[in-house]
Amino acid sequence: MKRLRAWAAALLAAVAAMMATSGTARTPLDKVPTQAARIRHVFIIVLENKNYTDTFGTSTQDPYLQKTLVPMGALLTQYYGTGHVSLDNYIAMISGQAPTPDTADDCVPGLIGTLGNYTDVAQAGWAPQGQVVATAGCIYPTRVKTLVDQMTRVGLSWRGYMEDMGNDPARESAACGHPVIGVGTDHTNTAEAPSTAVPLGDAYASRHDPFVYFHSIIDSKSCKTNVVNLSRLQVDLAQLRTTPNLVFITPNLCNDGHDGAGTGATGTTCANGQPGGLRSADGFLRTWVPRILASPAYREDGLLIVTFDESTYGTVTSSRNTTTGQTTVDITYAGQTCCDQQPGPNLAGVRPSATTLVSTPTVVQKLVFAGFGGDRIGAVLVSPFILPGSTSATPYNHYGLLRSLEDIFHVGGYLGYAADDPRAGYHLNTIGNDEAIFQHP
């Protein structure tokens, strides 16, 4: 009996110590059966548009990712993006919402979506699992919540660190930067090269910053303090108490691999002249990952996740009619999914689909989406609690990532397609349950 009291006292002291560290109350740890239960700080770096087989196989442009981070951590070989082209993936990661007709196309006007640009979602109702039925639009109404709203509610902190945001203040603000709602073109769709007024150029892209697509975030005063330029991260990493529980990092369009072929060859570089592709992405990781891994928060209870928004498993075929001189270009995405992913309520006619983008006497461009998924991308996890060099073939996608984080942070519920649907037998795997990669208790 006495020994039991002593054990209980020790447990209470440990819990108290945890509470003192995080400043928040913890819910029971039984939801995460591995050492992932100890994670209190998650660092996510999202890169762009690379195939799993390139990133973790054939490419010679990312030696740091392949030869340093993968052996150091765990490789998720069956991690899938949830859509094409970009924005819908980021939105899935933090809200569990399936695409609208516009977010499915990066809110670029004049394509498949009906509104495009930076416009409010036109909501027509609700579908099961909290899905917004939307006829168009990109910015979700306040009642649509996100992971960071959940975290805020339970007293956990978060920040989105966006490289280049606000480099050109005429283009977007340096904090919570986004285009004016409903007005004109989203100029962040194109990287801006350096000029006298903007010596570093500006390759921030709103469509790679999920936080600015939710009124629950952009209408909050905290958006200005929580969605910030990447330059803030080094200061925040310096101390445990200044490091948010969730650190979400989006490199600029060059350093996330979106722009540039990575070779440096003339005509294939980023707007700022850098090589881009996996080469610049690898350089970004080589710069920032050591800083993260050296931070007190990571060393205490951190998890680093490096993944991509989507794959580029697509084919481009081109043929020329020698009689008419007309060239026909067909672009086909496979759009593969995993994890019983559902298309959501808004993709009728959008995914799958075949759309003629351009039709002129000289050129016809067709876009074909054979499926609605984002294809296989993979992910690397690094943590003091990870089994170094481990591999998991358990299927995951961005909805599963959201569910995993909701478990790790004990936010008390699941959003959108991160939630179970017992009627359909829908249930996602979560990384904290993956005993192939996390140390056992």
Point out which residues bind other proteins (CB under 8 A).
Answer: 48-49, 84-86, 105-106, 108-111, 169-173, 177, 179-180, 183-185, 187, 189-198, 201, 253, 257-262, 267-273, 276-277, 312, 314, 316, 329, 331, 333, 357-358, 360-363, 365, 367
Question: Quick one: 8 or 180, whose CB is closer to other proteins?
Answer: 180
CA 129 from chain center: how many Å? 21
**Closest residue by Cα to residue 27 from 177, 168, 150, 160:** 150
Any idea which residue has 């001189």 for tokens? 325
Question: Quick one: 145 or 398, whose CB is closer to other proteins?
Answer: 398
| CB distance 297 to 237 below 8 Å | yes
For residue 251, the minimal CB distance to other proteins (Å) is: 13
Question: Quick one: 281 or 437, whose CB is closer to other proteins?
Answer: 281
Asked if the peptide bond before residue 361 counts as cis, ω within 30 degrees of 0, the response is no
Any idea which residue has 């999914």 for tokens? 337
Question: Quick one: 1 or 170, whose CB is closer to other proteins?
Answer: 170
CB count within 10 Å of CB 133 equals 15
DSSP state of 376: B
For residue 192, the minimal CB distance to other proteins (Å) is: 6
For residue 310, the minimal CB distance to other proteins (Å) is: 9
- Output the six-digit token pair for 401: 């990532």
Question: Quick one: 43 or 213, whose CB is closer to other proteins?
Answer: 213
| CB distance 186 to 103 below 8 Å | no
| CB distance 194 to 200 below 8 Å | yes
- C-alpha pair distances (Å), 239 with each of 231, 242, 243, 310: 16, 5, 6, 33
For residue 257, the minimal CB distance to other proteins (Å) is: 6
For residue 199, the minimal CB distance to other proteins (Å) is: 10
For residue 340, the minimal CB distance to other proteins (Å) is: 25
Question: Quick one: 240 or 368, whose CB is closer to other proteins?
Answer: 368
For residue 438, the minimal CB distance to other proteins (Å) is: 33
CB count within 10 Å of CB 264 equals 15
Question: Quick one: 373 or 432, whose CB is closer to other proteins?
Answer: 373
